[in-house]
Amino acid sequence: MEPKIKIEHVSKIFGPRPKSVIPMIKEGVSKDEILAKTNHTVGVYDASLEVNEGETFVIMGLSGSGKSTLIRCFNLLNNPTYGAINVDGENIIEYNAKKLKTYRQEKISMVFQHFGLFSHRTVLGNVEYGLEIKNYSKEKRQRIAMENIENVGLKGYENKYPDELSGGMQQRVGLARSLANDPDILLMDEPFSALDPLIRREMQLELLDIQDRLKKTIIFITHDVNEAFKIGDRVAVMKDGKVVQVGTPEEILEAPANDYISNFIKDIDRSKILQAQNIMIQPNALVSLKDGLKVAIREMEENGVSSAFVVDRQRRLQGIVTIDDVVEGIKEKQSLEDVLIKDVTTIDKQEYVQDIIPKALEAKFPLAVINENNKLEGLILRVHVLSSLVSEQETEDNTVSES
Amino acid sequence: MNNNFPEIRWEFIGDYVEAFINWLDTTFAGLFEFIRVISFRTINGIEGFLSFLPWWVLLIIIFLLGWRFKSVFSGALYAFFIFLVGTFGLWDVLLTTIAIVLTSVFISLLIGIPLGVLMAFSKKFSFMMRPILDAMQTMPSFVYLIPAIFFFGLGNVSAVFATLIYSLPPVIRLTELAIRNVDKEVIESAESFGSSKLQMLKKVQLPQALPTIMAGVNQTTMMALAMVVIASMVGAKGLGEQVLISINRIDISLGFEAGISIVFLAIIIDRVTGGIADRFQKHRGTD
Ligand SMILES: Nc1ncnc2c1ncn2[C@@H]1O[C@H](COP(=O)(O)OP(=O)(O)OP(=O)(O)O)[C@@H](O)[C@H]1O
Ligand SMILES: [Mg+2]
C-alpha cells in the first residue's frame, strides 16, 4: 500500500542563508560543525520516513533534537529548506497559497503543547473555528462542534472560556477543535507534556480510544519513551535533527540502533511494552491427547524437560503432564488422560509482561500462551519473564563486569 | 550676544517648513476638509445629543456607567461630581468638553488602530513610523496649535486636531505592541486551520489584542482631557476656555470651579474606561 505520508531528504535550516548550507548536509557535515562554521542551526537534518494510513506514528527524541521543527513541516508551519513532503502522492511543498489553505482546512490539523486555544472564544467558539474559516453555516458548524465536544467528554462546558477549565480539559478542547475538521492527519506536538501524570495517562487512553474509533493517521511527538511506546504503532527516534531509527516499539526495544537509543530506552518500563508473544518460546515438548504415556516420556527426555503440554488435534490446549506423574502412571497402567493436569495457567498472547509477573511467580508449571481460539502458541518460563525486564545493554554490562 | 559663538541665520529652514506646510495645505486640501467635516459633525452631534437630554438623564447615565463598571458607590459619587459641575453654572461648557474629548478619542482610534495594525504587519513601515511617533510624543503640545490653526482656523476642530496629534501615538504603539504580542502558538493554531490573513486579523489577532488596545483607550482619553486647556488657546470652547478666561481676569473662583470640574471629569473618565478595559482583561488566557 502507498504510504499516506512520505518525506524524502527533508532538511530545515535556520539562519540568514539556509540554502547555502544544503551542500554541507549532502556531504554529511555534522550539525555542530555547521553551526560552528556557518552560524546556521540545523533543525531537521536530511530526514526521510513514511507514515502509513491509520497509523499512530510517534516521533521521540531529546529536547532540541528537531521534533517540533519536523512535525511543523507536515502542515508547512515550517517550510523545509530542502526535500519533498508527499501526502497522498502530492508534494505539498509545491502547493500555491490557495492549495495550501485547502490542504490545511481539509486534510490536516494540529494539537499544540500549550493548547494554542483562543482565549477570547468559548469552548464552542474554539471548536467551531476551523469550520467557521470554511464558511460553514452557523447552525451546521455548531452542530458538528457540539458532537466533537461531546466526543471528548466536555458536554456542558461549551459556553465556558478556556481559562475557566483545567489543563486536561483545555487539551480536550484542543483535541475536539482539531477533530471537528475531520482531518485525515492529526499532528500532535507533545500534547500531553503540560499535564500532570494522572491526567496525562487518562488522556493517553482517551486518545487510543478515539483512534480506535476514528482511525486517523496520527503523528505524535513526545520525549517520554513510555508514552511513545504505549501509543505508537511505530516510533521514530530523532537526534541532532536526524532520524536515527524507525520501528515498532518491540523492534526498537529489542535492537536499539545505537547507544543514543539504548540510553533513551534504558529507563523505560519494559514490562508495560512487551507482551507475552514477545517473550514466549516455542513449546519444545508437545504431546497429543491420543498419544500414550510412553510417547510422552520420550518427548520429555528428548527435549530435556520435566513437563509437556498436551494438545488436541487442532492444537488446542488440554493440560500438562509432568515426568513424575507419567512414570508413576506407566507403573499403574494408567492412560494419559488419568495423569493429565488440567489446571494450567494460561495467558493471552497479547497480555503485557507486567500482568504476567504475578502469575509467573505463583505458577508451578510453565505458563501456556494461547490465542483467542485457545490454541497453544508458546510457553513462558519464569526466567523468561525476569530476563525480559533486563535490557540488552544491561545484560552486556553485567557480562563484562562478571568476567 | 557676548559669547563668540558663530551665528548662522537659519531662517531659511523656517521658510522651508512654512513652504512645506503650505504645500501640505494645498495638496491635501481634500483630506483636511474631510477631517474638518468629520470632526465638526461628530462634535456637534455629540454636543447636540447631550444637550438634548434633560440634565438628570445624563446624571442617571453617569450613575449607571459607574455602577456597571465600578460599583454603586462610585456611580453615585460620579453623578454627584457632575451635579456639582452643573451647580457651578458650567453645564453647557462641560458638555462641549465631553464632546471634544470623545471626538478626539473616536478619531484617534479610527486612525490609530489601522496604523498600528500596519506597523505590526510590516517591519519597514514600523521602522519608518517610529521616529515620527517619537517626535509627535516629545514635541511640546503647544507647537501643534500652529499647524492646527493654519489648517482648520480657530475653533473646536483645531482643538481636536491638536489633541489628535498628541493622543494618537499611544493608540498606534499599543495596537502594534498588542498585535505583535499575541501568543505565537495561538497564531500558529489559527494558521494551521488554514485561516486567511484577513480571517486571522479579524477573528484572532484583533480580539486577542483588544484588552491591550482598551488599556490604550483609557490613556488616550486622559491625554485628550489633558489637552483641553491648551487647546482652548486655539479657540476651543468648553471648560478649558473657562480656565483661560479666569487666568486673563485673575478670577480665582471661576478658575477653581473650572479646574475642579476638569478634575472630576478626569476621575470619571479614567475610572469608567479603566473599568471597561478590565472587563476585556477577563478572558485573556492562562499565561
Ligand atoms: N525559529 C527558529 N529559529 C532558529 N532556530 C530554531 C528555530 N526553531 C527551532 N530552532 C532550533 O532547531 C533545533 C530543533 O528545535 P526543535 O524545537 O525542533 O526541538 P524539539 O525536539 O522540538 O525540542 P523540545 O523537546 O524542546 O520541544 C534546536 O537547535 C532549536 O534551537
Ligand atoms: Mg518541541
- The DSSP secondary structure of A124-157, one letter per residue, reads HHHHTHHHHHTT--HHHHHHHHHHHHHHTT-TT-
Which residue of A72, A115, A119 is the best one to mutate when testing the B interface, meaning the one whose CB has the most B CBs within 10 A?
A119
Rounded-to-integer distance, Cα B246 and Cα B15, Å: 36
- In the prediction, which pLDDT does A286 show? 84
- In the prediction, which pLDDT does B2 show? 66
Rounded-to-integer distance, Cα A106 and Cα A362, Å: 54
Cα dihedral across residues A19, A25, A31, A32: positive or negative: negative
Mapped onto helix, strand or coil, the DSSP state of residue A289 is coil
Domain A5-107+183-268 adopts which CATH fold? Rossmann fold (3.40.50)
Q: Nearest-CA neighbor of A354 among A301, A291, A275?
A: A275
Q: Report pLDDT digits (tens) over A227-250.
A: 898 899 999 999 999 999 999 988
Instruction: Strand A376-380: give its sheet, edge to edge.
Output: A346-348, A367-370, A376-380
- Beta carbon of A81 within 6 Å of any ligand 1 atom: no
Report yes or no: A120 at the B interface, CB cutoff 8 Å. Answer: yes
| Low-confidence stretches of chain B (pLDDT beneath 50) | 285-287
Ligand minimally distant from the alpha carbon of residue A63:
1
- DSSP assignment of A69-94, as one string? HHHTTTTTSS--SEEEEEETTEEGGG
CATH superfamily for B13-281 is MetI-like (1.10.3720.10)
> Atom 26 (ligand 1): residue with closest C-alpha?
A63
| B191 contact residues in A (CB cutoff 8 A) | 77, 104
- Beta carbon of A396 within 6 Å of any ligand 1 atom: no
CATH superfamily for A277-388 is CBS-domain (3.10.580.10)
**Based on C-alpha coordinates, what's the Rg of chain A?**
27
Rounded-to-integer distance, Cα A152 and Cα A266, Å: 34
Return the axis-axis angle of helices B156-180 and B29-52, rounded to nearest 10°. Answer: 100
- In the prediction, which pLDDT does A402 show? 37
> Atom 17 (ligand 1): residue with closest C-alpha?
A68
Searching chain B, which residue's CA lies closest to the CA of residue A187?
A: B192
| A161 contact residues in B (CB cutoff 8 A) | 282-283
Which of B193, B284, B285 is the closest to A129 by Cβ? B193
- In the prediction, which pLDDT does A401 show? 39
ipTM over cut 0.90: no
Residues 6+ apart with CB under 8 A from B139: none
Asked if B283 and A75 come within 8 Å (Cβ–Cβ), the reply is no
Q: Report pLDDT digits (tens) over A255-287.
A: 877 777 777 777 677 777 788 888 888 887 788
Pocket test for ligand 1, best of A58, A65, A71, A240 (most atoms within 8 A of CB): A65
Report yes or no: A371 at the B interface, CB cutoff 8 Å. Answer: no
Whole-prediction pTM: 0.75
- Beta carbon of A68 within 6 Å of any ligand 1 atom: yes
Mapped onto helix, strand or coil, the DSSP state of residue A206 is helix
| Low-confidence stretches of chain A (pLDDT beneath 70) | 267, 390-403
Searching chain B, which residue's CA lies closest to the CA of residue A113?
A: B185
| A119 contact residues in B (CB cutoff 8 A) | 186, 208, 283-286
> Which triple of cell numbers denotes residue A84?
519533498
Length of chain A: 403
H-type alpha helices, A215-349:
225-231, 249-254, 259-266, 276-279, 293-303, 323-331, 336-339
Rounded-to-integer distance, Cα B68 and Cα A88, Å: 56
Asked if B208 and A119 come within 8 Å (Cβ–Cβ), the reply is yes
User: Residue A189 C-alpha to ligand 1 middle, in angstroms?
Assistant: 12
Q: Where in chain A is the domain with CATH 3.40.50.300?
A: 5-107+183-268
Q: Where in chain A is the domain with CATH 3.10.580.10?
A: 277-388
Length of chain B: 287
Rounded-to-integer distance, Cα B156 and Cα B41, Å: 11
Mapped onto helix, strand or coil, the DSSP state of residue A274 is coil
